[in-house]
Amino acid sequence: PSKDDAFKTSPVNFLNERTLKGTFFGNYKPRTDIPKVVDQYMNKELDLERLEKFVTHSVPFSEINKAFEYMLSGQGLRCLIYMEH
């Protein structure tokens, strides 16, 4: 979604015991989650083909600002940022 998008719902949803929870980065916890993902990658436990369909752009680290532009404009779902050799 773009930064101007708005979420709308009926108050009745909350009367029916529904809840709304906001998260940042999908509630990702870098301190504990990154080591797990690295282990899964090293053990070849990640289905990379399945994950690749969510990557909309791939940019070198030197163009990291371009990745943020894609995200802020709503053009990018996930940007892969790679280190240049």
Q: What is the largest CA-CA distance in the chain?
A: 56
- Whether the predicted pLDDT of 85 surpasses 80: no
3 assigned to some structural domain? no
- Whether the predicted pLDDT of 3 surpasses 80: no
Domain count, the chain: 1
7 assigned to some structural domain? no
DSSP bridge pairs for 82: 60
45 assigned to some structural domain? yes
For the segment 18-68, what is each residue's pLDDT rounded down to a tens digit? 888 777 667 778 889 889 988 998 998 988 888 888 899 999 999 999 999
Reduced to 3 states, what is the DSSP secondary structure of residue 13? helix
82 in Cβ contact with 55 (< 8 Å): no
Token reading at 65: 């600002």
17 assigned to some structural domain? yes
DSSP bridge pairs for 59: 81
The whole-angstrom separation of Cα 67 and Cα 79 is 6
